[in-house]
Structure 1
Amino acid sequence: MSDHITSARWVVTGIQDRHTPVIVDEGAVLSRDGEIVAVGSLEEMRHLSPGAAETAYPDHVMLPGFVNSHHHVGMTPLQLGSPDHALELWFASRIPGRKLDLYLDTLYSAFEMIASGVTTVAHIHGWMSGGYEAVHGAATKVLDAYRTIGMRASYSYALREQNRLVYEADEEFCARLPQPLAGQVAAYLQSQVLTFDEHMALFDQLTAENAGQALTRIQLAPANLHWVTDESLVEMNARSVRHGVPMHMHLLETAYQKEYARRRTGKTAVRHLYDLGVLSPRMTLGHGVWLNQEDIEIAADTGTCVCHNCSSNFRLRSGVAPLNAFEKHGLNVGMGLDEAGINDDRDMLQELRLVLRAHRVPGMDDADVPSCPQVLRMATEGGANTTAFGREIGRLDPGRRMDAVLINWKTATYPFQDPDIPMLDAVMQRAKQNAVDAVIVDGAVIYEDGRFTNVDRDAILEDIARHYAHPRTEEETARRQMGHDVFPHVKAFYDGYLGAETRTPFYAPSSAK
């Protein structure tokens, strides 16, 4: 057995409640083979394990490693030529995006996440062409990248079996397109088809291949209500129960998805999922921007989790999720960076601040707006509960895995910080990536002093740059033209889709009258 003591000026083991972090001043964590054995003073840890190796971070705040609870790709859509359209148009605008080897692509975003303190990611994969073998090969590359860099990943390949481009059947949409565009789009969408049985076979194969891996787990992802049938949702839920794995489902990201659910089911999407019997603590609803009051109560009653993707919701004009209502009803809420954060990167420190600021509704009662401990809980324990690792991570408590981020207090607060501000509030609101001095996953340092211990970042970035220095292939050129040609038809599909629905927002940040 290998014992290690990691000490810091402050150790934040977790969050007791939305106002109270659990902090050990001049604290230390004793870990054994990547598992936390005890937390306390340095002297106490030395007494428990006299021969343990030691690493000291005397000017640092040690926090539980952050969990990015909703992630898809490495190279961002903007990098690949897709502007920040509204979500439904954005799907079409991404068709021209150039491809990159998924091992390199995954490492690219892993660099950004780890450098901001992310130790675990829920990687929701999808939108692949080429059939089962191609998808399995792609999934393997994603998983290999996380294992190589030393990051923890909860992986799923999202089930999409219908309505792949707009909120109606592929065949019906393509039938209204002019030729030859109709045939091109139909062939493109058909290339992404995996049957439900193939999706489940992929889950089974990846689960078997992942046996014995410490850093990666396999979970399930029904992609969104419009993308899956009721029968598939029920069967995936049954498989989730049998295998003891969670599910992550995009839901009610936009007002258009709210209207789709009404047209399909005659009720809200959440009520429909409840009636199907698929809501439970094993289900996470990604985004949840357009949940209404009853939906939130249903989620609370069933223990259903929500993943808040603040940057994505702003960028794609999806709306503002009612986070303050989620908190009042006691929902478990994680935090996701989605495709890219507000700065087109995966900076979790910045996302913490964005979530703090975005929900500061007018008024004077602090209970009405997010607190620093609450948001940190979202980025750690709340996010952990949405992944296949669950309570093994998310806090620095005995029995959990030793996943931590060390933030340099002097770097974060230089040249001055008044001590009247609580330490956690100051570090969350002021720390930037240059203050992240070390990141630990499963007891191993994977990032320190700006360098990755397992992968040469500069070499990987150079490989990516060389790839994109080549001109588009013939296939990429044709797909680029197809994407541009179909875009106006996708936009036309949604003309008048929302009707004249009256909306009463949870937040009222301004007034037209």
Structure 2
Amino acid sequence: MQSIIRGKYVITRALDRHGWEQIENGAVLQRDGVITAIGAFDDLIRQHPDTAVMGSGNEVLLPGFVNGHHHVGLTPLQLGSPDMPLELWFGTRMVTRDIDLYLDTLYSAFEMIASGITTVQHIHGWMPGKLPAVEARAEQVIGAYEKIGMRVSYCFALRDQNHLVYEANQDFLARVPAEVKPLLARYFDRFELDAEDNIALFGSLHGKHRDKDRVKIQLAPANLHWCSDQALELLAATSERYDAPLHMHLVETAYQKEYARRRGGGTALDYIARFGLLGPRLTLGHGVWLSESDIEKVAETGTHVCHNCSSNFRLRSGVAPLNRLEAAGVNVAIGLDEAGINDDRDMLQEMRMVLRAHREPGMDDRVPTMAQVFRMASEGGALTTPYGASLGRLEVGRGADMVLIDWNQISFPYLDAEVPVLDAVIQRAKVEGVRAVLVAGEVVYRDGRFTRIDRDAVLRQISDMLKRPLNDDEMERRRLSKAVLPHLRAFYDSYHAPERHVPFYRQSSKV
């Protein structure tokens, strides 16, 4: 399979914080899902006159975007869980409906692809049951991405302790009234996978999918408070054995920072460093409360960070020290997490959010730039997955993952000729302007329609499924959510007073 994809402007990669490579009236030649040539459209069509051409010549062609941190399909809000501070939100998440994971995954995949995302880091978790049941659900998620044609890096988050608050299940169980205890005990009993089961799940999925072009399997220590020392040891050893990347939530909130201090007497980063986890195989999700010394160690070890800007705002977690991370040379990705600021998975919107959220007062050059945000959403994200340097740029030898965005949508009715093309794309491109999305050279989305699957039919299935009455388990979890919420508040009221009244651009400077 060979095709030429043309663009009025072809933006191939970021060069540095302020520069990018751009070809006017350019094109990309791909064969069997791999880029084989890049250059002027006239030259490529002359050399390959019988090759099919995609694009009208009035679009911007860019590398496909990478969502570096993702969890679910229908958003928590859609399923009845309002935005709250993260630690309380874990309690309200109990109310979410049971839904077919295949259909649920397709729902968010529709949104991601329509905004130009071609690869997703899917971090799965919160699944009850024993290993066979959990593995079957994992295969539903992976199968949905295979069906729609998207690339996925899948991992199941390892959690072997502290399933609701930042202390042992039995200790928190002792805090709640007698009438709440049976409900909460049954909830805890739902989670039957231990650390060894989780590693076995990784091994099984890795073996099944290791030779696939669009599916990769990696590891996910859920967070420091969710992982025992035994789990961290197993994860480090497994990552080394398989050369498998890991994606770990870390210091998302000030409460998690305090948990790390109580557990190990220092920072969360220092704690996981004891197990040899830092390095190019590890990505830290969020990292909002990293200290200055943490950032230095992240940079020194080549550890990555995934910035989840909208999620941090929605759950009151704080503002990540992005400018410090970038200044230190840390590779940073962009993740949409559970949902973006518009309660959807729109990478074009999220790039603007990242661009604007870190504009520190002053006139220096430490604020995010267009090229930097573009790199985060493309190459930066790819480097946090097992796909690594095989994606993220339009470059000969890399995967032919691309997005075409209508230049008229960006520039009409007027755009000054002096405005740089990438500036215009980052600040003005909208989902309705996405004309086509290609994964491995295959068109998976074109002119508002998905080529492999009927979106309207899937949405009708989801709607019909969720019209049914709540089942007994869903009803019980809703009762538990309401009953346990005051006790979550009480636990954290006595746990730690978060740092307040600190300018967002300095809030992470303290250890």
State if a TM-score over 0.5 links the two structures.
Answer: yes
Which residue in 2 is equivalent to 1:203? 202
Which residue in 1 is equivalent to 2:29? 30
Question: For residues 167-178 of structure 1, what are the structure 2 equivalents within 5 Å?
Answer: 167-178=166-177
1:349 counterpart SS class? helix
Amino acid across the alignment from 2:360: V
Q: Report Cα offsets for 1:102-158 as digits up to 9, x if no partner.
A: 000000000111111110000000001121111111100000000000011000000
Q: Is the 8 A contact 1:37 1:399 kept in 2?
A: yes
Which residue in 2 is equivalent to 1:302? 301
Name the CA distance, whole Å, in 1 between partners of 2:55 and 2:430: 21
Quote how far apart the aligned CAs of 1:392 are: 1.0
Name the CA distance, whole Å, in 2 between partners of 1:401 and 1:499: 48
Q: Is the 8 A contact 1:7 1:29 kept in 2?
A: yes
2:7 counterpart SS class? strand
Q: Is the 8 A contact 2:288 2:317 kept in 1?
A: yes
Name the CA distance, whole Å, in 2 between partners of 1:271 and 1:338: 25
> In the alignment, which of 420, 426, 429 is matched to residue 428 of structure 1?
426
Amino acid across the alignment from 1:164: H
Segments of 5+ residues of structure 1 without an aligned counterpart are: none
Question: For residues 88-103 of structure 1, what are the structure 2 equivalents within 5 Å?
Answer: 88-103=87-102
Name the CA distance, whole Å, in 2 between partners of 1:423 and 1:362: 26
Q: Report Cα offsets for 1:147-172 as digits up to 9, x if no partner.
A: 00001100000000000100000011
Question: For residues 448-463 of structure 1, what are the structure 2 equivalents within 5 Å?
Answer: 448-463=446-461
Amino acid across the alignment from 2:405: I
* Alignment pair present for 1:64 and 2:67: no
Quote how far apart the aligned CAs of 1:287 are: 0.2
Quote how far apart the aligned CAs of 1:49 are: 3.9
Which residue in 2 is equivalent to 1:486? 484
Q: Is the 8 A contact 2:286 2:307 kept in 1?
A: yes
Q: Report Cα offsets for 1:330-384 as digits up to 9, x if no partner.
A: 100000000000010001100000000000111112x121001100100000000
Which residue in 2 is equivalent to 1:347? 346
Q: How many residues align?
A: 507
Q: State the 4+ residue runs in structure 1 displaced beyond 3 angstroms.
A: 46-51, 499-506
Name the CA distance, whole Å, in 2 between partners of 1:69 and 1:500: 27
Question: For residues 228-247 of structure 1, what are the structure 2 equivalents within 5 Å?
Answer: 228-247=227-246
Which residue in 2 is equivalent to 1:289? 288
Question: For residues 355-370 of structure 1, what are the structure 2 equivalents within 5 Å?
Answer: 355-365=354-364, 367-370=365-368
Which residue in 2 is equivalent to 1:402? 400
2:290 counterpart SS class? coil
Quote how far apart the aligned CAs of 1:501 are: 6.1
Q: Is the 8 A contact 1:413 1:431 kept in 2?
A: no
Quote how far apart the aligned CAs of 1:503 are: 8.0
Amino acid across the alignment from 1:452: F
Name the CA distance, whole Å, in 1 between partners of 2:244 and 2:144: 22
Q: Is the 8 A contact 2:254 2:499 kept in 1?
A: no
Which residue in 2 is equivalent to 1:411? 409
1:250 counterpart SS class? strand
Quote how far apart the aligned CAs of 1:478 are: 1.5
Amino acid across the alignment from 2:319: V
Name the CA distance, whole Å, in 2 between partners of 1:502 and 1:133: 45
CA 1:502 to 1:217, structure 2 compared with 1: closer, same or farther past 3 Å? Answer: same
Which residue in 2 is equivalent to 1:381? 379
CA 1:221 to 1:313, structure 2 compared with 1: closer, same or farther past 3 Å? Answer: same
Query: Could you tell which deviates more after superposition, 165-174 or 209-218?
Result: 209-218
Which residue in 2 is equivalent to 1:144? 143
2:493 counterpart SS class? coil
2:466 counterpart SS class? helix
Name the CA distance, whole Å, in 1 between partners of 2:449 and 2:58: 19
Q: Is the 8 A contact 1:70 1:336 kept in 2?
A: yes
Quote how far apart the aligned CAs of 1:53 are: 2.4
Name the CA distance, whole Å, in 1 between partners of 2:232 and 2:50: 52
Question: For residues 199-348 of structure 1, what are the structure 2 equivalents within 5 Å?
Answer: 199-348=198-347
Name the CA distance, whole Å, in 2 between partners of 1:57 and 1:155: 35
Quote how far apart the aligned CAs of 1:176 are: 2.0
The percentage of counterpart residues that share the same residue type is 55
Query: Could you tell which deviates more after superposition, 121-130 or 470-479?
Result: 470-479
Q: Report Cα offsets for 1:292-331 as digits up to 9, x if no partner.
A: 1100000000000000000000000000001000110010
Name the CA distance, whole Å, in 2 between partners of 1:429 and 1:267: 40
Name the CA distance, whole Å, in 1 between partners of 2:498 and 2:56: 58
Q: Report Cα offsets for 1:59-79 as digits up to 9, x if no partner.
A: 100111010000000011111
CA 1:185 to 1:460, structure 2 compared with 1: closer, same or farther past 3 Å? Answer: same
Q: Is the 8 A contact 2:323 2:358 kept in 1?
A: yes
1:58 counterpart SS class? coil
Name the CA distance, whole Å, in 2 between partners of 1:15 and 1:435: 22
2:352 counterpart SS class? helix
Amino acid across the alignment from 2:126: W
Name the CA distance, whole Å, in 2 between partners of 1:192 and 1:502: 35
Quote how far apart the aligned CAs of 1:505 are: 5.0
Quote how far apart the aligned CAs of 1:499 are: 4.2
Query: Could you tell which deviates more after superposition, 30-39 or 45-54?
Result: 45-54
Quote how far apart the aligned CAs of 1:274 are: 2.1
Quote how far apart the aligned CAs of 1:424 are: 0.6
1:375 counterpart SS class? helix
Q: Report Cα offsets for 1:459-488 as digits up to 9, x if no partner.
A: 000011101111111221111111111111
> In the alignment, which of 493, 496, 499 is matched to residue 498 of structure 1?
496
Q: Report Cα offsets for 1:34-60 as digits up to 9, x if no partner.
A: 001111112332355454322233110
* Alignment pair present for 1:371 and 2:372: no
Amino acid across the alignment from 2:464: R
Q: Report Cα offsets for 1:249-303 as digits up to 9, x if no partner.
A: 0000000000000000000011222233210011000000000110000000000
Name the CA distance, whole Å, in 1 between partners of 2:391 and 2:206: 20
